[in-house]
Amino acid sequence: MALKVIILAGGSGTRMASKQPKVLHRLGGKYLLEHVLDAVLPLKPAQIFIVYGYMGATVLKALQHRPEPITWVEQKERLGTGHAVQQVLPFLQHPQDQTLILCGDVPLISTETLAHLAHTTRTDQLGIVTANVPYPYGFGRILRDEYNQVQGIAEEKDATELQKKITEINTGIYCVPVRFLQQWLPKLSNANAQNEYYLTEIVSFACSEHIPIIVTRPKQVEEIYGINTRAELAKLERIYQRWQAHRLMFAGVTLYDPERLDVRGEVVPAQDCVLDVNVILAGTVELGEGGYIGPNCYLENVRLGKNCVIKANTVIENAVLEEGCQVGPFARIRPGTVLHQEVHIGNFVEVKNSEIGANSKANHLTYLGDASIGAQVNIGAGVITCNYDGVNKHRTTIEDEVFIGSDVQLIAPVTVGRGATIGAGTTLVRDAPPEKLTLGRSKQVTVEGWRRPVPQAKKSKQSKE
């Protein structure tokens, strides 16, 4: 028996008031559809089908970076959830297989809930996920008999006033043996208020055929919330961020305010790391033990060593910082940068595609681009590596124990030898030899007899007349 997964992602999401397909809106930095996909992957399904429809080419392009094999199935006409699953039926060849059916706009569903559903549903049963919610408006209601057995699902627009008072809802998540789908999908009817083929009708078929219906409840009811409006998207974003904050705190991370953290990717926690308010962590971020990230910082695809200090209002992207680095405030570390142990990068310093050796410092108002900088280097304020000639990028090499004075321009390609000193105000256009002082200033001149110009007196209006 193999597990197959069907994710329904063909809707337009009219109530989102967007030109984008609904499943391509983002939550926590990822597409809604990706959240669902990531939830099923740990179950190791034999095959994943994604049913696409509205702006299908856009959906396919957005997920082309995904490494896992996906079978894309087009729903040319959007005639309901049952019709969507019917499009997959020709691909389901083995009656003994199990099929998980999910919605692409329910991003918080957990692997644990899906695993329980799949593992507790036998091949002679129908499994469904239900939940009790305080405000069930818009959801299909679970109908039970006097023995509390599931008897069917009443959609909101077809439900009676009595049925609308039921708080147990259908989540749209099912585990169905393929053999039942082969029997039931061709029998679906569109005789309802929407003239659509509801997948929920398979529950009635199961009841009429005395097929046991197994109910799974999510650990947290928020897992089954779908998204139809931007307000619902914002609500789920906050729920998701709260979950991420709690996960980090339980792993030993201190958050000064859990409500003011945004995780937009994957975070690897570290004990005794402290995050101040309004920190945004995107992509893959590995925190460092004993580190500190100050307020209003943005980190994307960053690996931090132990005891790093990131001061306020700093941006770091696609970079590695080894143990004991200090960066900021108001610094920018751009892609391709590696800072070795105990490097200090100060306020209004920008580093791009550069490697800086241990214990080196650039504390003020500096740009270091496409540079290889050794250990124990001191870089003064206002230093610029002029790495771009208008067409090509060139590299600057600064060897160990160099001292570069303030307001120096290094015109790449250029090398500064070990232990060299570059005097302040120098424009370096040739290699500087090691252990020597290199200057490139023009001669200072004082002009005797010079006087600063004074404003000329303006003629009065009366004198003009």
8 A C-beta contact, residue 275 and residue 256: yes
Residues in a beta bridge with 315: 298, 332
> What pLDDT sits at residue 160?
92
CB atoms within 10 A of CB 222: 18
Residue (of 238, 236, 307, 239) closest to 273 by Cα position: 307
Compute, in degrees rounded to 10, the torsion defined by CA atoms 244, 27, 45, 286.
-40
Per the CB < 8 A criterion, the answer to whether 202 and 180 are in contact is yes
The span from the CA of 266 to the CA of 299, in Å, is: 12
pLDDT number for residue 465: 52
Nearest to 282 by CA among 307, 318, 330, 321: 318
Residues in the chain: 465
- Strands 150-154 and 141-144, sheet pairing: antiparallel
Q: Which two tokens stand for residue 266?
A: 């994957």
For residue 314, give the nearest of 301, 286, 295, 287 by alpha carbon. Answer: 295
Tell me which residues are annotated as active site.
364
* 3/94 Cα distance (integer angstroms): 11
Chain centroid to CA 53: 25
The per-residue pLDDT for 441 is 85
Residue 455 is predicted with a pLDDT of: 87
Domains delineated in the chain: 3-224 (3.90.550.10), 230-438 (2.160.10.10)
H/E run at residue 321: strand 315-321
| DSSP string for 212-273 | -EEEE--SSGGGG----SHHHHHHHHHHHHHHHHHHHHHTT-EES-GGGEEEEEEEE--TT-
Confirm if 109 and 102 have CB atoms less than 8 A apart: yes
Handedness of CA 135, 137, 138, 142 (dihedral sign): positive
Give the integer Cα–Cα distance in Å for 120 and 454.
92
Give the dihedral sign, CA 370/375/377/379.
Answer: positive
Rounded CA separation 355/339 (Å): 6
Rounded Cα gap, residues 368 and 360, in angstroms = 13
Half-sphere exposure of 402 (CA within 13 A, CB side): 26
Torsion of CA 52, 57, 63, 64, to 10 degrees: 130
* pLDDT at residue 263 in the model: 98
Q: Which single residue is written with the structure tokens 């399904």? A: 45
Three-state DSSP at 390 gives: coil
* pLDDT tens track, the chain, 465 positions: 899 999 999 988 889 999 999 999 999 999 999 999 999 999 999 999 999 999 999 999 999 999 999 999 999 998 999 999 999 999 999 999 999 999 999 999 999 999 999 999 999 999 999 999 999 988 899 999 999 999 889 988 889 999 999 999 999 999 999 999 999 999 999 988 788 999 999 999 999 999 999 999 999 999 999 999 999 999 999 999 999 999 999 999 999 999 999 999 999 999 999 999 999 999 999 999 999 999 999 999 999 999 999 999 999 999 999 999 999 999 999 999 999 999 999 999 999 999 999 999 999 999 999 999 999 999 999 999 999 999 999 999 999 999 999 999 999 999 999 999 999 999 999 999 999 999 998 888 899 999 988 888 877 666 555
Report the interhelical angle of 32-40 vs 111-120 (nearest 10°).
50
Per the CB < 8 A criterion, the answer to whether 201 and 128 are in contact is: no
**CA dihedral angle for residue 198, residue 200, residue 201, residue 204, rounded to 10 degrees:** -170
pLDDT at 42: 97
